[in-house]
Structure 1
Amino acid sequence: MNTPFLVRGANRERLTLDNRPAGIGASSAGQFVIRADGTATFDRHHHTTWEAWFIAAGFGAVAVGEHTFDVQPGDLVFTPPGVDHDITAVRGGAELRIFWITGETPDGTPPGHLHRDPVDAARHLVPAVPAPIEGAGDVR
């Protein structure tokens, strides 16, 4: 790749298979926000490739497989291929802002959310919890 490429997160732009420059070893990237007012929704899902989330702002709880991580700004959450992950809480009254990047999929298809059953596919409310907990970043 010889051409610089910018994804403007503030404009909700995303890196996709359709717009990525040649040589980029990722199939998608962008950002999403979980509101802290108790009205945000999310779904438990997995991918056929790895995914990494960088916590840019806010506090929350992220489930990856059988583990739950209390996350804070600066944390990086890595999810291996085929492992379910979810956002289970936003904490402290401020939105949770997350940047994501996914690896290339084995068959070159878009890395959409995959669900094991209809319950996982149904979006659930993400509870808003009053304050961050001690030891954010620790595994529970």
Structure 2
Amino acid sequence: MTKPSQSPIMHGGAERLPIRWVNAPIPPTVISRYRVAPGKSVSLHVHTGKAENWVIIAGSGVVRIGEESIPVVEGDIVLTPPTVPHGLTNTGDIPLIFLNIVHPTGDEPITSVELDS
């Protein structure tokens, strides 16, 4: 079982949930699972060196990508490109759960900067 090594709360309001690779002792990619409580948000932040795909597996909310706000529901997938600010707010009445699939982009180091205080 691969256990997260970081804080269980990320970017202000995303609770990192355990994930288990059942047949890969060394995971082939970085995938995380998060839960955002109703009314809570993933703070606006920006990365370099990676893109992320957020797969909404439960709940509903609004994702902000740059200046655009996009409603999301179960089954939606959102691309968060490198260097573009992004965040998420759970606008529903149940926890919003999503997978975060990370894709490194080039030789640039991976960084993360919070934009909301």
TM-score, normalised to structure 1, is 0.59
SS at the partner of 2:45?
coil
Amino acid at match of 1:46: V
- Whether contact under 8 Å (2:41, 2:90) holds in the other structure is no
Which structure would you say has the larger Rg? 1
Amino acid corresponding to residue 70 of structure 2 in structure 1: F
Partner of 1:96: 96
The question of whether the paired residues in 2 share the 8 Å contact of 1:14 and 1:30 is answered with no
RMSD in angstroms over aligned alpha carbons? Answer: 3.0
For structure 2, the residue ranges without an aligned partner over 5 or more in a row are 5-15
Structure with greater strand percent:
2
1:31–1:100 CA contact under 8 A, matched in 2: yes
Instruction: Pick closer, same or farther for the CA change 1:70–1:44 going to 2, 3 Å.
Output: same
Q: Distance in 1 between matches of 2:47 and 2:108?
A: 12
Is 1:74 the counterpart of 2:80 in the alignment? no
> Unpaired runs of 5+ in structure 1?
1-5, 123-140
C-alpha change, 1:62 and 1:83, in structure 2 (3 Å) is same
Deviation at 1:47, TM superposition (A): 1.5
**Matches of 1:76 and 1:8 in 2, distance apart?**
24
The equivalent of 2:112 in structure 1 is: 113
Q: Determine if contact 1:14/1:29 at 8 Å carries over to the other structure.
A: no
Q: Does the 8 A contact of 1:29 with 1:100 survive in 2?
A: yes
Structure 1 residue 51: deviation in Å? 0.8
CA contact (8 A) 1:59 1:73 kept: yes
**Count of residues in Structure 1 that have an aligned counterpart in Structure 2:** 102
TM-superposed deviation, 1:13: 3.4
Q: Offset of 1:61 from its aligned partner?
A: 0.3
Looking at structure 2, the residues matched to 104 and 83 of structure 1 have their Cα atoms a distance apart, in angstroms, of 15
**Higher percent of residues as helix:** 1
Counting only pairs closer than 5 Å after superposition, residues 3-82 of structure 1 correspond to structure 2 as: 12-13=18-19, 20-21=26-27, 24=28, 26=29, 28-36=30-38, 38=39, 40-48=40-48, 49-82=50-83
1:94 to 1:105, Cα distance in 2 relative to 1, 3 A: same
